[in-house]
Amino acid sequence: MKNAKPKTKTGTAPAPGRRSARPRSAYTPDEIREIFRRFSIQRPEPKGELEHVNPFTLVVAVALSAQATDAGVNKATRALFAVADTPEKMLALGEDRVRDYIKTIGLFRNKAKNVIALSRKLVDEFGGEVPRSREELVTLPGVGRKTANVVLSMAFGQATMAVDTHIFRIANRICLAPGKTPDEVEAQLMRIVPDDYLYHAHHWLILHGRYVCKARKPDCERCVIADICKSPEKSCDIPAPLVELPPQAVAAAQ
């Protein structure tokens, strides 16, 4: 039996060696299941909104999307992927020409270097194929954990939780999976999201954050979980009608 730890007074620092309690979800398992059940009815087959034609172009698109919008990345990569949809073709194109294609995207100079470097590594170490493990994916230049999770999900059908700015914001705003870092939020979401909803969960949360629970001001009147939501920011307790939305107008992966 562990020794009882002394309580700290309000406003004082925790005792040496004591860890602060990890924030927990404000929702019961039944409430969490209901949240994702509604998302599944609203968007039965959610899709990522980055256009790509194969795992390689997906890796490149996601790497380019850091500090950029999906729409902005799509606009730049349509022409790029038309001429370079494999790492070999990207290397043949060269850094200068890649930079010209993506110059409308933020941080385009460094991103062009990364695209060429990751293409070189794919050719030299992976036979030109995108690896199927997170551990190998994060060794590619410009590829972090979030990018790797997106690729594992969208290209290889693995259930992952890619925590971008939308998911990080929502997880904390509505107290679903509070965390100080994306890794903390990811770990908690992976624990609490029901297994049968996990594969699509990150897309549902991203799209909800992009179109409803927006950064500047949540559009609570359009929210299908307004009655369940425990956010102190919410302005409405009446959920929006639970109807299937029209198919997303995004390019499908081939």
In the annotation, is 146 catalytic?
A: yes
Q: Which tokens belong to 152?
A: 């594992």
Question: Which pLDDT does position 23 carry in this prediction?
Answer: 78
Name the CATH superfamily, with its identifier, for domain 55-154. Hypothetical protein; domain 2 (1.10.340.30)
The fold of 29-47+160-222 is: Endonuclease Iii, domain 2 (1.10.1670)
Q: Which of 192, 186, 201 is nearest to 36 (CA)?
A: 201
Same topology, domains 29-47+160-222 and 55-154? Answer is no
Q: Which of 26, 31, 82 is nearest to 52 (CA)?
A: 82
In the annotation, is 5 catalytic?
A: no
Question: Which pLDDT does position 249 carry in this prediction?
Answer: 54
User: What angle (nearest 5°) sits at the alpha carbon of residue 101, between those of residues 142 and 133?
Assistant: 30
Question: Which pLDDT does position 67 carry in this prediction?
Answer: 85
Distance CA 65, CA 100 (A): 16
Question: Which pLDDT does position 187 carry in this prediction?
Answer: 96
Question: Which pLDDT does position 3 carry in this prediction?
Answer: 40
Contact 134, 140 (CB under 8 A): no
Question: Which pLDDT does position 10 carry in this prediction?
Answer: 36
Regions of the chain where pLDDT drops below 50: 1-20, 250-254
From the list 100, 164, 180, 234, the catalytic residue is 164
Q: Where are the domains of the chain?
A: 29-47+160-222, 55-154
From the list 2, 5, 75, 146, the catalytic residue is 146
Distance CA 112, CA 142 (A): 10
